[in-house]
Amino acid sequence: MIIDGFEIQIVRSKARKKTVQARLIGDNTVKVMAPYHTTDAFIKDFVTKAIKKFKNKVPVAKGETDLQNRAEMLRDKYIPKAPNFTITYSNRLKRSWGKCFFRTREIIINPVLADFPRWVSDMVIIHEIAHLIYPNHGKQFRELVSRYRLKERATGYLLAKGLKAEE
């Protein structure tokens, strides 16, 4: 059974009396433990709700504070004059790697980046931090982000993965 992109593994057990349980295994498999006589329809409904909860938890599961700390370290190293900001993974981004909200100093980045090499996501984070100073991609902006030596390579990597710069 596939629900919403998740592969569902169902384990029915005679020992289990009442409750149905769903657990996320890896990124896209859900293991369901259910009493022996539970109907497929019930499981489907239960799992659909569980998946909604799992999806909301994605940013936390992928290390939100770790992301904030890492981004602040990159700021201090490459763009120390950038202001304080918040950074989170967001499922709102579909095909783009990140987005910077200049006025509210919020950066969101695509959760798929968590699975890419660190030197790639570092480039994205630095790019978005630079937008806290320059909202456009002008000459000064480009000078700022070129402090990161692997910029061109990382950009190529993302293009190959089908991610464009911004929405």
**Residues of this chain that bind Zn ion (CB under 5 A):** 166
Half-sphere exposure of 134 (CA within 13 A, CB side): 14
DSSP for 76-113? HHH-TTSPP-EEEE-TT-SSBSEEEETTTTEEEE-GGG
* Nearer to Zn ion (CB atom), residue 45 or residue 166: 166
In angstroms, rounded to a whole number, what is the distance separating the alpha carbons of residues 11 and 115? 29
Structure tokens at 51: 């998946």
Choose between 119 and 141: whose C-beta lies nearer to Zn ion: 141
Nearest approach, Cβ of 166 to Zn ion (angstroms)? 5
**140-155 b/e with 16+ CB inside 10 Å = b?**
ebeebbeebeebeebb
Least separation, in Å, of the C-beta of 137 and Zn ion? 6
Q: How far is the CB of 155 from Zn ion (least distance, A)?
A: 11
Closest CB to Zn ion among 57 and 142?
Answer: 142
Least distance CB 73 / Zn ion (angstroms): 21
CB of 117 or CB of 135, closer to Zn ion: 135
**Dist CA 104 CA 116 (whole Å):** 27
Q: In whole angstroms, how close is the CB of 70 to Zn ion at the nearest point? A: 19
Contact 34, 20 (CB under 8 A): yes
Taking the least distance from each CB to Zn ion, the nearer of 48 and 90 is 90
- What's the DSSP call for residue 114? G
